[in-house]
Amino acid sequence: MNSSMMLRRFCCFSANAISSSSSSSASPSSSLSPTRKKPLVFLGSPQVSAIVLDALFNASLAPDSSFEVAAIVTQPPARRDRGRKLMPSPVAQYAIDNGFSPELIFTPVRAGEEAFLSSLKALQPEICITAAYGNILPRKFLNIPQLGTVNIHPSLLPQYRGAAPVQRALQDGVNETGVSLAFTVRALDAGPVIATERIKVDDQIKAPDLLNILFSKGSTLLVQELPSILNGSAMEKAHPQDDMKATLAPKINPEESWLCFDVEAPVLHNKVRAFAGWPGTRAKLFMFDKKTSNHSVLELKIITTRASGQTKTSAGGADDVSFRNNALIIPCGGRTELEVLEVQLPGKKVVSAGAFWNGLRGHLLKKS
């Protein structure tokens, strides 16, 4: 089967096809055993979701495991990278690389598609597990798994309900966050919480790294709680969320990525950390020729920063950008300074502030 045909088969198969293939699929969790294991369906899409899927694969192979990963649901193939090739989601690619049957990888555009729901129902899943799936689950879906659907959410619910909990938490400058296991209900991230784990947040950590840590801890927490989830006792011990304490973490708009140096440096530093990876943070600076005083607008990405926490002390004008302690020093609101350690010009590689400063060659920088 060629690659294009393989990608087309990442779709919803008929109930009969799934029923016949599920008994012979060579997957890490579907080997034959005298006692039928409980079918579990996993839903996830980005690379961090593969951390959870890996933990489930490993747990399903344990001698005392009572479940198997019967199917995987993920986002449809999309065009990625510079070549714009049609590629499966990171979770789908990970599953295939580990021998999971492509026929049991579903990629509905919407989780409410009747063909998909019919195929899912034929599997008779005991439980569904979601981890950054990226699709709204309708009531028809939630009614299928006998023991419900459990979500790994990277925040301490009811804080930061929504699409970008880690990014919004870092943007707010929190010094503590965590991960929650919660049953999925129709209201956004509002289901009963089974368990949580707290972690301290370093003031330099960026969103991609924090996401990896939280989903790694979430997968460990999930494996610990799976026995209670599968025997039904988790539903009894899960506690309802206090909606009065809920905060929202809305999806990030790329237009939010611009930095305004009129605000204080710690706020900008937190934004750089929060938006790292995607969409990144962008800034505009004025670049002056020392000889002619002609100027142009320089647009660049701000990759890594520090917030000095001290008032502006550098010589020069109030808007002058200087270089000190291997960092670009940009004056900000409240007489604070943002220390920029790494930048990226359009179409170029990420470079250190020192390399960027040395490349200015007779030009002065001012904040825009």
41, containing H or E segment:
strand 38-44
Instruction: Show the tokens assigned to 325.
Output: 């302690």
Candidates 252, 245, 226; CA nearest to 157 is 245
**Cα–chain center distance at 293:** 45
Helix axes 114-123, 15-22, angle to 10 degrees: 30
- Give, in order, the Cα–Cα distances in Å from 95 to each of 50, 89, 141, 226, 261: 8, 10, 22, 21, 45
Q: What is the pLDDT along the chain (368 residues), one digit of tens a residue?
A: 333 333 434 444 433 344 434 433 444 444 444 568 999 999 999 999 999 999 999 999 999 999 999 999 999 999 877 777 899 999 999 999 999 999 999 999 999 999 999 999 999 999 999 999 999 999 999 999 999 999 999 999 999 999 999 999 999 999 999 999 999 999 999 999 999 999 999 999 999 999 999 999 999 999 999 999 999 999 999 999 999 999 999 999 999 999 999 999 999 999 999 999 999 999 999 999 888 878 899 999 999 999 875 665 555 568 999 999 999 999 999 999 999 999 999 999 999 999 999 999 878 999 98
57 touches 28 (CB < 8 A)? yes
104 touches 133 (CB < 8 A)? no
Neighbours of 143 (CB within 10 A): 12
